[in-house]
Amino acid sequence: MMRILALVPGGIGDQILFFPTLDDLKQSYPDAQIDVMVEPRAKGAYRVCKSVKEVLTYNFKDRNSMADWGNLLGVIRDREYEAVISLGQRWSVGLLLWLTGIPKRVGYVGSNNSLFLTNPVPLKTEQYAAEMYHDLLQGFNIKNACPPVAINVPKQDIQWAEAEQQRLGIKESGYILIHGGSSQLAVSKGIDKIYPIGNWQKIIEDCQQRQPNLPVVIVKGPEDADFVTELIKSCPKVKVISPDDVGKLAATIAAANLMMCTDSAPMHLAVAVQTYTIALFGPTDPEKLLPHGDRFLGIKSPTGKMADISPEDVLKKVWGG
């Protein structure tokens, strides 16, 4: 049995965008065991991925000691992988892969680690990120078009979401789902991904006025408590749902009539479950983070600042104006 390792730094959104690559790799090598190595914060994404056998964790961005590197090297060597595919472009990651002795090492050419690769692939950053990641399969001589982002939601997560819809009284009516985009990591890095509460208030009030029988539901994740508390003060009629893992969140999104969110992991889940989505972008580029199609609309800030996306522009997209 062939054993393949994928190194996928980044958060949950990066993992979801990498799923088409993993799915196509598994399709091409159905008897292979595919493992991934990800940062601890991203491990939960693999609850909804059907192509991966084992999820290993390593904090690529930490200042790791020589002992940390040695332990990681031992873990990889013990598993006797025959091929590795890497999104990581740091030279230290490339050196690590070379030291493992894995025969086939696939990554992007022109990056700092390309000296250590056996099968380098051109990096084309101008395209949708899932397609850019999928290009790596050229290193395995796989020339298929990139499949759509797709996930496999566990049955118990679907049942949880249905029970929550029943509890909130929204199972029959359907609902508009909002994820506000409050991410501590983004805040700590100075990345503007949070849409102001005052703007959300105007959007919610308009939706409630035009569609009084279509409830508005807010997602409350582990980092969203303050955001949700403030929003409820402004919009007391909204309902709140608190999925505690990616599977439950995906099931909640899948049942929504419309998802409104910022550039975030929930946006990629909405794409995967094909829910009609309006996503707000500040400094990031919707062309690279959303697939083409009329189900997924990106609204780019004219200034690069989230606050400068007007509620009126969002509402035009909601109502087709």
The stretch 173-193 carries a mean pLDDT of: 76
State the span(s) of the chain assigned CATH 3.40.50.2000: 3-140, 155-319
Confidence of residue 111 (pLDDT cuts 50, 70, 90): low
Considering just the CA atoms, what is the radius of gyration of the chain in Å?
Answer: 21
**237-250, pLDDT tens digit by residue?**
999 999 999 999 99
> Which contiguous run of DSSP H or E holds residue 55?
strand 54-57
**Residue type at 314 in one-letter notation:** V
User: Mean of the pLDDT values across residues 82-96?
Assistant: 82
- Classify residue 81 by its DSSP letter: -
Tokens for 230, please give them: 């403030």
Mean model confidence pLDDT for the chain: 91
Give residue 187's pLDDT. Answer: 58
What is residue 221's predicted lDDT score, i.e. its pLDDT? Answer: 86
Query: What pLDDT sits at residue 77?
Result: 87
Q: What mean pLDDT do residues 123-140 have?
A: 96
Hey, how many other C-beta atoms are within 10 angstroms of the C-beta on 278?
A: 21
pLDDT tens, position by position, 46-77? 999 999 999 999 887 666 667 777 788 888 88
Q: Which pLDDT score, from 0 to 100, does residue 189 have?
A: 61
Burial class (CB in 10 A: 0-12, 13-18, 19+), 130: buried
Residue 251 has pLDDT above 60, yes or no: yes
What would the mean pLDDT of 293-319 be, rounded to a whole number?
95
- CA–CA dist 286, 128 (Å, integer): 9
Does the pLDDT of residue 218 top 80, yes or no? yes
Q: Provide CATH code, domain 3-140.
A: 3.40.50.2000
pLDDT above 60: residue 211: yes
Q: In the block, which residue shows the tokens 């990629």?
A: 268
Task: Enter the pTM of the model.
Answer: 0.92
Lowest mean pLDDT among 53-67, 69-83, 137-151, 262-276: 53-67
Residue 71 has a pLDDT of 80
Given a cut of 60, is residue 185 above it in pLDDT?
no
pLDDT digits (tens, 9 = 90+) for 10-26: 999 999 999 999 999 99
pLDDT at 183: 60
The whole-number average pLDDT for the span 116-127 is: 92
- Quick one: CATH architecture of 155-319? 3-Layer(aba) Sandwich (3.40)
Count other C-beta atoms under 10 Å from residue 65's C-beta: 9
Q: Which pLDDT band holds residue 181 (cuts at 50, 70, 90)?
A: confident
pLDDT band for position 286 (cuts 50, 70, 90): very high
